[in-house]
């Protein structure tokens, strides 16, 4: 059994899809900075649990 879930999100710079592994016990509600796998720009990631399911908010680091 895996302790992470694989998800995808869209880069706010180049609009390419990126893969991310989410640790369900530690990543929910936390802010992370990750680099885009295509354009290497820094992306601010927040993973939220809502009534509709998991939501990944990806913003530019300069917003």
Stated pTM of the model:
0.81
Q: Structural domain tally of the chain? A: 1
Over the stretch 15-39, which tens digit does the pLDDT of each residue have? 999 999 988 888 888 999 999 999 9
Evaluate if residue 1 carries a pLDDT over 70.
no
Cα angle, residue 22 at apex, residues 45 and 4 outer, rounded to 5°:
170
Q: Is the pLDDT of residue 40 over 80?
A: yes
pLDDT of residue 61: 77
> pLDDT band for position 53 (50/70/90)?
confident
Range of the domain at 20: 4-60
The reported pLDDT for the residue numbered 2 is 66
């Amino acid at each position: 059994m895996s302790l992470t879930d694989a998800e995808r999100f869209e880069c706010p710079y180049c609009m390419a899809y990126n893969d991310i592994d989410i640790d369900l016990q530690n990543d929910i509600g936390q802010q992370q900075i990750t680099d885009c796998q295509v354009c290497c720009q820094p992306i601010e990631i927040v993973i939220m649990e809502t009534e509709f399911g998991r939501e990944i908010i990806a913003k530019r680091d300069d917003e």
